Amino acid sequence: MGKDPAPFGASGWRRPAASRLAFLVDAERYFGALADALERAREQVLIVGWDVHSRTRLRRDEAGGLPSELGPLLDALARRRRRLRIHVLDWDYSVVLALGREWLPVVQLDWRTHPRVEFCLDPEHPVGACHHQKIVVIDDRVAFSGGLDLTLRRWDASAHAPDDPRRVEHDGRPYDPFHDVQVLVEGEAARDLGDLARTRWRRATGSRLRRPRGASDPWPRGVEPDVENVRITIARSEPAYADRPEVREIESSYLAAVAAARRFIYVENQYLTAARIADVLAARLREPSGPEVVVVAPETCTGWLEEATMGSVRASLVSMLRDADRHDRFRLFHPVHAADPGVRINVHAKVMVVDDRSARVGSANLSNRSMGFDTECDVLIEDDGRTGTRRAIASLRDRLLAEHLGSTPEQVAAAIAEKDSLIRAIEALAEGSASGRSLRPLECAGGEWLEDVLPVPLPTDPPEPLAAGTVLEKVVAEEAVVRRPLAATLAAVLALLAAAALWRVGLVVEWTTPGEIPFHAARLARSSWAFPLVLGAFAGSGLLFVPLAPLVVSCAWILGPLEGFLVASSAAWCAALFGYAVGRFALGRWIRSAASGRFHRVRRFLPRRDAIAVAAFRWIPSPPFALANLLAGAHQVPWASYAAGSALELAPRALALCALSVPALEVVRAPSLASVGAFVALAFPLALADALARRALTPGARYRADAERRDQVQPRSR
């Protein structure tokens, strides 16, 4: 392995030339360069992203009389340049992430801006997937691509000082240091990234955008290129969707680069959960003369929910890599600052440098979903035989390590040459660092407890979209009726954690940190949009398979336990009837076909089709809320019985969840022995009552046998 490999970029989408290329480390450099380039745009600006926020401050001052915030800046530029058209495409995010996003971005970036600033949400992706590319293209002359979104809580200087007064949100609230990398390209490479952005725009909106035809020079002032006249590779990940095939160019290029490594593999990434890439890294570590592998990652995942899910997967893969490391060539580090050890530096970068032969900067995390489930874009440069290209590749690695170690790129390069080892150089510089910045080994333990508690495994990092028929069969299957009532009950008590993790599937959401939830809840409660948004969220859950439990708990947090119960129970009942109507009148035949022979097992729970039977069907741990509604409609349960039975089941469930919301909020806001004890004291009797009710309502063996006999003499519903 590692001998005469295929070209790294052989699996890429396009391999255009870049007349100039620069690596922009951290948002201070990227946002400043972007602001300067935007001000020099003449004809077309394309922005596509996972999250775009109008209040993002690109500069910490008002330069040239232009606004520093993204939305007002785009508006001012459109008014200043008569030929300039600006198109902003933002991921049409899940309702689960709504509190971490800008309220009504279409108002801020479309209605409140000049008509030539056009904003659109991108819904063209499978359920649970997201558009994760972060690309800005200006006049097809320059383009930015990488890991940085144009949103809040991203700006930071490379010093990552714990007390930097500039690192605050637009309302003055500080946030933790944030590290990321973007790449800037010029020329043909920018045009091809423009084609990628225009293709995404056409899929989302149905309209075609023309390539700009005028001449401009928007390369930002003060940015020196790292290399000139270099050919890059653009690699993508896209899920199979709407008759379009799956694209896994990023995964293929990762595998090729790891296979070709000779001495060093340096990685900075938010995650380390991609199973196929971890397997290849493990194989290289087992080789007697394989490369060293150094990974720099955040100490913990963002938020307690993500740490319990994605952190668990990372811990498992790191354990596998350490077991494979027979020759002491693997290290996992996290950055620290001695001035305030409690401040965590969020490593959000997606970078890999292999020897001095290839470097990549992109949007793709080292996670399964970034390899084929989400829409991603990476930019690679490779050794072309020129000294300048190899120097640029090695320089990126040295600059990143110098930042983390409080050193200089020259010192890092000298240490690597002296030690003839990337690991030994890092350890020597970390031990002798006098700046307070350093890299420390990351133990990466914990998280496995979640898999022991939950009755089914969480698909926190899916490699590809799940087929609808497969999901239905798994949920409706007899095996899906949990046979361990106690384990199922414990999972129900932790419904907020389990359900949110199930549908959140590993995305990064900063608002899930404990201190943020009460703030956003109070913010929404004061909003005039609170009631319609709550009703809309519950109604949408009937079709989008959003779990009921986190919606009810969130409603109680926002409106208070009593008002939250009244609103949540009413909204959940309306959502149940809405889903029932869709299942009966729109999707009944498709649901029965997708569930195949297993659909008839639903009949075992609804032999009489009265309100009590409906309540029992809804209470037992079989199909979740949204699917139960669709199945009941497809099974043609009488609507009056379903309405009454749903009310009988939903009201006590909403009451229990709203009662639990008060101590749960205290646990989230200020974890302590007292707050956890209060939560357990209330949760235990509710869990016990739930377990007894489920056991009493679950059909027994004789009941199921009678249902089987009825199925043999009566044709199944079609």
Assigned domain for 492 exists? yes
Structure-token pair, residue 708: 């089987």
Do 571 and 436 have their domain in common? Answer: no
CA dihedral 487→491→494→499, nearest 10 degrees, is: 170
Mean pLDDT of the chain: 78
Residue 234: give its domain's CATH number.
Answer: 3.30.870.10
Full domain range(s) for residue 39: 18-227
Do 206 and 81 have their domain in common? Answer: yes
Do 685 and 563 have their domain in common? Answer: yes
The pLDDT of residue 467 is above 60: no
Give the model's pLDDT for residue 615: 64
Position 374 confidence tier, pLDDT thresholds 50, 70, 90:
very high
Do 107 and 162 have their domain in common? Answer: yes
As to burial, measured by CB atoms within 10 angstroms (0-12 exposed, 13-18 middle, 19+ buried), residue 608 is exposed
Do 213 and 238 have their domain in common? Answer: no
> pLDDT tens digits for 414-426?
999 999 999 999 9
Q: Tell which of 393, 419, 441 closes a domain.
A: 441
Do 484 and 422 have their domain in common? Answer: no
336-340, 439-443, 619-623: least confident range: 619-623
Q: Tell which of 441, 467, 498 closes a domain.
A: 441
Going by C-alpha positions, the residue among 382, 347, 94 that lies closest to residue 235 is: 382
Give the model's pLDDT for residue 711: 44
More confident residue, 481 or 275: 275
Q: For 63, which DSSP code?
A: G
Assigned domain for 139 exists? yes
- Report the percent of the chain where pLDDT is more than 90: 46
Residue with structure tokens 């040459």? 417
> pLDDT tens digits for 520-538?
555 555 555 555 666 666 7
Assigned domain for 83 exists? yes
Do 291 and 357 have their domain in common? Answer: yes
Position 517 confidence tier, pLDDT thresholds 50, 70, 90:
very low
The pLDDT of residue 483 is above 60: no
More confident residue, 383 or 308: 383
Average of per-residue pLDDT across 570-597: 69
Give the model's pLDDT for residue 705: 43
> pLDDT tens digits for 68-87?
999 999 999 999 999 999 99
Give the model's pLDDT for residue 450: 44
Assigned domain for 402 exists? yes
Do 199 and 247 have their domain in common? Answer: no
Do 283 and 265 have their domain in common? Answer: yes
- Asked if 200 and 375 touch (Cβ cutoff 8 Å), the reply is yes
> pLDDT tens digits for 25-47?
999 999 999 999 999 999 999 99
Give the model's pLDDT for residue 101: 63
> pLDDT tens digits for 197-221?
999 999 999 999 999 988 899 999 9
Average of per-residue pLDDT across 664-678: 64
Assigned domain for 153 exists? yes
Assigned domain for 396 exists? yes
- Report the percent of the chain where pLDDT is more than 70: 67
> pLDDT tens digits for 154-208?
999 999 998 899 998 877 889 999 999 999 999 999 999 999 999 999 999 999 9
More confident residue, 434 or 654: 654
Q: Are strands 292-296 and 264-269 parallel, antiparallel or unpaired?
A: parallel
Distances (CA, A) of 172 to 153, 169, 589: 11, 5, 54
Do 525 and 585 have their domain in common? Answer: yes
Residue with structure tokens 């004291």? 681
Do 175 and 301 have their domain in common? Answer: no
Give the model's pLDDT for residue 514: 42
The pLDDT of residue 104 is above 90: no
The pLDDT of residue 147 is above 50: yes
The answer to whether the pTM exceeds 0.75 is no
Position 56 confidence tier, pLDDT thresholds 50, 70, 90:
very high
Residue 374 CB partners (closer than 8 Å, separation 6+): 125, 129, 130, 131, 132, 237, 239, 364
Assigned domain for 468 exists? no
The pLDDT of residue 455 is above 60: no
Q: Tell which of 175, 194, 227 closes a domain.
A: 227
Assigned domain for 162 exists? yes
Do 637 and 533 have their domain in common? Answer: yes
- Name, of 319-323, 510-514, 595-599, 706-710, the range with top average pLDDT: 319-323
Q: How many domains does the chain have?
A: 3
